[in-house]
């Protein structure tokens, strides 16, 4: 739990998803396909267990090895099923859930990705705000919009207990705004709908869903992983072995996080 306190920041994200675009709507991404896969024999590598002292997190160092060895097959499966061909990994931009620098680097190495082209948004979000669990990938999508990638496709991937890999192949909409606020609802008129609805078959007639809005938010307080580490070491005092204290500082320095937004402030010890 000490390491989790160092790595995880606070924040929330939300998206507006809809289909049957109206003429005044400007989508950010078209959702082409979602997919999920369980990596065998990895159940004990990641998880949250509720105990008498609260939530206890399990994060094994073996996670990066398993994700790195399976990500290529996972990406190939999504693109081939959706498009009828395997995309070159360099053809896509990669909004990855920034679960940690080791995970990002494992995927970059496996897929031969350029950190300044394919995963820059992922790295920058981790550096600026830290890992905020599942909502963090929305921060990455928002950052990617501001950068205006020249890639047609984006492979959004996240990972969770299981181990599970979750993916969504997105088409980047070229007319997307660099800033997407949550759109206000407007009356739906038949002439505004792009396409024709036939009977009750609205799902197929409306086509793929689109991401129409992205909203993210953080607490105003900003702390560094080293700051949190010093607080934890101070709290445990002599109960924390020196070797463990050194390990915590090493994790903080190599986390890839310069700062994170947190409900914790210098006054909260």
Positive or negative torsion for Cα 197, 202, 204, 207: positive
Quickly count: other Cβ atoms within 10 Å of residue 89's Cβ: 20
Q: Check residue 205 and give its pLDDT.
A: 55
Residue 76 lies in a domain: yes
Q: State the residue range of the domain holding 11.
A: 2-176+210-219
Are 30 and 208 in contact, with CB atoms under 8 Å apart?
A: yes
Residue 256 lies in a domain: no
Q: Check residue 260 and give its pLDDT.
A: 79
Q: Check residue 196 and give its pLDDT.
A: 37
Q: Check residue 31 and give its pLDDT.
A: 94
SS3 of the chain: CHHHHHHECCCEEEEEEECCCECCCCCCEEEEEEEEEECCCCCCCEEEEEECCEEEEEECCCHHHHHHHHHHHHHHHHHHHHHCCCCCHHHEECCECCCCHHHHHHHHHHHCCCCCCCCHHHHHHHHHHCECHHHHHHHHHHHHHHHCCCCCEEEEEEEECCCEEEEEEEEECCCCCCCCCCCCCCCCCHHHECCCCCCCCHHHHHCCCEEEEEEEECCCCEECHHHHHHHHHHHHHHHCCHHHHHHHHHHHHHCCCCCEECCCCCCCC
Q: Check residue 108 and give its pLDDT.
A: 96
Q: Check residue 92 and give its pLDDT.
A: 95
Q: Give me the number of domains the chain comprises.
A: 1
**Cα-atom radius of gyration of the chain, to the nearest Å?**
21
Residue 182 lies in a domain: no
Residue 231 lies in a domain: no
* Tokens 């038949």, residue located: 190
Residue 183 lies in a domain: no
Q: What is the token pair recorded at 197? A: 């609805």
Q: Check residue 269 and give its pLDDT.
A: 43
Q: Check residue 261 and give its pLDDT.
A: 80
Q: Check residue 206 and give its pLDDT.
A: 67
Q: Check residue 179 and give its pLDDT.
A: 47
Q: Check residue 188 and give its pLDDT.
A: 45
Quickly count: other Cβ atoms within 10 Å of residue 132's Cβ: 25
Residue 268 lies in a domain: no
Domain CATH for 68? 3.40.47.10
Q: Check residue 82 and give its pLDDT.
A: 92
Q: Check residue 85 and give its pLDDT.
A: 93
Look at residues 76, 81, 101 and name the one whose alpha carbon lies nearest to residue 91. Answer: 76
Q: Distance between CA atoms of 154 and 137, rounded to whole angstroms? A: 12
Q: Check residue 265 and give its pLDDT.
A: 60
pLDDT along the chain (269 residues), means of 10: 72 89 85 92 82 74 90 94 93 93 94 95 92 90 89 93 91 66 48 38 62 89 80 78 82 80 61
Q: Check residue 177 and give its pLDDT.
A: 52
Are 20 and 65 in contact, with CB atoms under 8 Å apart?
A: no
Q: Check residue 266 and give its pLDDT.
A: 53
């Amino acid at each position: 739990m000490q390491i989790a306190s160092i790595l995880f920041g606070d924040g929330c994200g939300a998206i507006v998803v809809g289909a049957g675009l109206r003429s005044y709507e400007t989508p950010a991404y078209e959702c082409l396909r979602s997919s999920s896969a369980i990596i065998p024999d990895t159940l004990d590598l990641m998880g949250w267990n509720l105990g008498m002292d609260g939530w206890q997190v399990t994060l094994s160092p073996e996670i990066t090895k398993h994700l790195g060895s399976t990500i290529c097959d996972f990406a190939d499966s999504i693109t081939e099923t959706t498009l009828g061909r395997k995309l070159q990994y360099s053809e896509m931009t990669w909004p990855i859930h920034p679960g940690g620098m080791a995970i990002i680097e494992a995927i970059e190495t496996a897929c031969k990705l350029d950190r300044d082209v394919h995963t820059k948004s992922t790295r920058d979000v981790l550096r600026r705000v830290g890992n905020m669990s599942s909502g963090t990938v929305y921060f990455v999508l928002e950052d990617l919009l501001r950068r205006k990638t020249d890639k047609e496709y984006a492979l959004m991937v996240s990972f969770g207990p299981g181990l599970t890999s979750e993916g969504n192949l997105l088409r980047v909409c070229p007319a997307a705004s660099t800033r997407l606020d949550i759109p206000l609802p407007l009356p739906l008129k038949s002439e505004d709908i792009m396409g024709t609805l036939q009977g009750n078959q609205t799902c197929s007639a409306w086509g793929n869903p689109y991401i129409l809005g992205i909203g993210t938010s953080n607490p105003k307080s900003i702390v560094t992983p080293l700051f949190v580490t010093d607080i934890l070491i101070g709290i445990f005092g002599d109960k924390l072995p020196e070797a463990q204290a050194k390990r915590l500082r090493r994790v903080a320095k190599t986390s890839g996080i310069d700062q994170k937004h947190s409900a914790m402030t210098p006054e909260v010890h």
